[in-house]
Amino acid sequence: MNLDLGILWIEDSYSAQEEAELRRRVQEAGFIARIATIPNGADIEAHARENQLFHRYDLILLDYRLKDENGDDLAPKVRSLFPSTTILFYSGSAGDAELRRLIADKNVEGVYCSVRDNFIRRAGELIDQTAQALNRLSGMRGLAMRVVAECDDIMKAAVISMNARHDDCASKIDDLDANVLKDLDETKGKYERAQKVGLPERMATRAVDSAKLFMHFRRLTKIVAGAGAAFGLDDQGVERLRELRKASANYDPKVLGRRNVLGHVMEVKGDTGWVLQGSNEISINDFADIRRDFAAHIDALREMTALVTTLDRQETA
């Protein structure tokens, strides 16, 4: 399972407002929109090749009037190249019935149709259908593990860069050591106490390294926010870093905590469908909100890392 929801938009009259509405709709479903736009089918094979290798696209938006061709003429090729991808065929000049007739005349299967005034809403419904199919515990577990692993990599790179860039950051390594050693002592104490009880108690002891990494990342980004020039940041960059620090402050409960809960609950059949058993902290109805929180935090960490490593990129350019 992936946080990214890929959209191939075949449209020759690009609208920034429509794209913003589409991105908002994808975000509401709990995903990050990854949108590629092309004016016609000239480069469609290259996108199809990428899709075959890396599953880039979950939805294709196909306009009727394109640059130098019509969408209904292109539709059979799109369906052939993307046999399992949802397609929404839309137009600002033709109604639903005419669009369906055009697609039927080309013998293209599995294509949804919409007038342009309604196609963002219709695309949103199709996105919700995709999201609903992913609302299973196994997929969310995998997503949580992937998000935390990527966030770990992002923060490790940033921490190493900040540590090398500024003496105040380097001096904070003692705090990291203290966190690790304290956690080891606590874990050792917990395990020694569990030894006196039984096997289940032994199994319950653990240390969460990702939490300590985030704690250290917070320490160092606080230093950067107070010494922006040393990291190549102007006042605007520093202010943005502060905004992102605030936005990502709940990473521990919103991402790590939920990762831990998802790892320990079970999915069982209930009267109204699948339900989670083993914790009252989350339910399947929370999955879209969880994905939104995952997406918001990973985007924030990516942007923060880009800010604090500004000089690294300039030096290697």
- Mean pLDDT per 10-residue interval, the chain, length 317 residues: 88 92 91 94 95 93 94 97 96 93 94 94 91 81 92 94 96 92 86 81 59 92 97 97 98 95 89 84 90 94 97 87
Distance CA 314, CA 304 (A): 16
Report, in angstroms and rounded to the nearest whole number, the Rg of the chain calculated over CA atoms.
Answer: 24
Closest CA to 130 of 273, 6, 294: 6
pLDDT given at position 208: 35
User: Whole-angstrom Cα distance, residue 148 to residue 279?
Assistant: 21
Strand pairing partners for 38?
Answer: 10
User: How far is residue 286's CA from residue 14's CA, in Å, rounded to a whole number?
Assistant: 34
Helices assigned H by DSSP within the chain:
16-28, 44-54, 71-81, 96-105, 119-133, 137-165, 167-171, 173-195, 199-203, 209-226, 235-247, 251, 258-262, 287-308, 310-316
Question: Cα–Cα distance between 112 and 293 in angstroms, integer?
Answer: 30
For residues 144 and 259, the answer to whether their CB atoms sit within 8 Å is: yes
- Are the C-beta atoms of residues 263 and 146 closer than 8 Å to each other? no
In whole angstroms, what is the distance from residue 207 CA to residue 181 CA? 11
Give, in order, the Cα–Cα distances in Å from 311 to each of 81, 153, 317. 43, 19, 10
CA distances from 6 to 127, 249, 306 (A): 10, 28, 23
| pTM for the predicted model, two decimal places | 0.78
pLDDT value for 203: 62
Rama region for 208: left / alpha / beta (φ>0; ψ in -120 to 50; rest): beta
Query: Burial, 264: exposed, middle or buried (Cβ in 10 Å; 0-12, 13-18, 19+)?
Result: exposed
